[in-house]
Chains A and B, each alone.
Chain A
Amino acid sequence: GAVVSQHPSWVICKSGTSVKIECRSLDFQATTMFWYRQFPKQSLMLMATSNEGSKATYEQGVEKDKFLINHASLTLSTLTVTSAHPEDSSFYICSAPLAGNTGELFFGEGSRLTVL
């Protein structure tokens, strides 16, 4: 099946620094990728839709200047958490649909961010 990979899996950073998380589709091209945030013991909340070659579409309540999304190629989307604070600590997951597939999203392994 299609594979989506995230890097890093774990990251710890100091408050005020920025962290970049990569999401790659390894064996297919993805013009669209989705970024989710998951708090402990809670469901996934869609943050934004990443579109290759254009601006990301953010969900209501998500700060676009805080969570920068870049989809520079058909296989890579990045999420940068800028000036991170402890409340940004969370599990971030990306996903991508396989074009022409009968409705399945492929999810990355997730990236756990801890801001000290």
Chain B
Amino acid sequence: AQSVTQLGSHVSVSEGALVLLRCNYSSSVPPYLFWYVQYPNQGLQLLLKYTSAATLVKGINGFEAEFKKSETSFHLTKPSAHMSDAAEYFCAVSSNFGNEKLTFGTGTRLTIIP
């Protein structure tokens, strides 16, 4: 069984500040981990994915995430927040390389303060 826990349903940061969205996972097999972003009334867009290659993964829009097996974490970061980063972010886990049957976290709504 797999699960994902996203700490903090709402995160607010000032424009230009560091963005840190937390994700911890539970998996009985080596996991594949993903971060998706969702803008209002839209589907999900892949930000980045971890597939057992490099533990530090770089994604689109300046985001990156680091896989830490010892901490079972896959936190998402961005050095400098932009107003356009305001959205809902979902962490997801899969045991399948084709990422079928993703298990999503509950999401974190990111608000950017001007």
- Asked whether, in the complex, the Cβ of A46 is within 8 Å of the Cβ of B106, the reply is no
Interface residues of A in 1-28 (CB under 8 A from B): 4, 6, 9
Q: Judge whether A34 and B100 touch: CB under 8 Å.
A: yes
**Total count of chain A residues near the partner, CB < 8 A:** 26
Tell whether, in the assembled complex, residue A43 and residue B105 are in contact, meaning their CB atoms are under 8 Å apart. yes
Q: Give a binary string over B50-81; 1 marks a CB under 8 Å from any A CB, 0 the rest.
A: 01000000000000000000000000000000
State whether the Cβ of B87 lies closer than 8 Å to any Cβ in chain A: no
Whether a CB of chain B sits under 8 angstroms from the CB of A49 is: yes
Which partner residue on chain B sits nearest A6 by CB separation? B43
Min CB gap A98→B, angstroms = 9
Interface-centre pick from A49, A93, A103 (highest chain B CB count, 10 A): A103
Cβ contacts B74-114/A at 8 Å (1 or 0 each): 00000000000000001000100111111011110100000
Is A104 within 8 A of B49, CB to CB? yes
B17 CB-CB contact with A under 8 Å: no
Q: Is A109 touching B106 in the complex (CB atoms < 8 A)?
A: no
Residues A102 and B42 in contact, CB atoms below 8 Å apart: no
Determine if B45 and A46 form an interchain contact, defined as CB atoms under 8 angstroms apart.
no
- Is A107 in contact with B51, judged by CB distance below 8 angstroms? no
Whether B51 and A103, one on each chain, are in contact in the complex, defined by CB atoms closer than 8 angstroms, is yes
Say if the beta carbon of A116 comes within 8 Å of chain B: no
Chain B neighbourhood of A107, CB < 8 A: 36, 43-45
Q: List 23 A-B residue pairs with CB atoms under 8 Å apart, sorted by A's residue number.
A: A4-B43, A32-B100, A41-B109, A42-B106, A43-B104, A43-B105, A44-B44, A44-B90, A44-B104, A46-B102, A49-B100, A93-B43, A97-B100, A103-B97, A103-B99, A104-B46, A104-B49, A105-B99, A105-B100, A107-B45, A109-B43, A110-B41, A112-B41
Shortest beta-carbon contacts, A-B, top 6: A107-B43, A107-B44, A43-B104, A103-B99, A43-B106, A109-B43
Given contacts A44-B44, A46-B101, A105-B102, 9 further A-B contacts (CB under 8 A): A41-B107, A42-B107, A43-B104, A43-B107, A44-B90, A93-B43, A102-B51, A108-B43, A110-B43
**Chain A residues with a Cβ under 8 A of chain B:** 4, 6, 9, 32, 34, 41-46, 49, 91, 93, 95, 97, 101-105, 107-110, 112
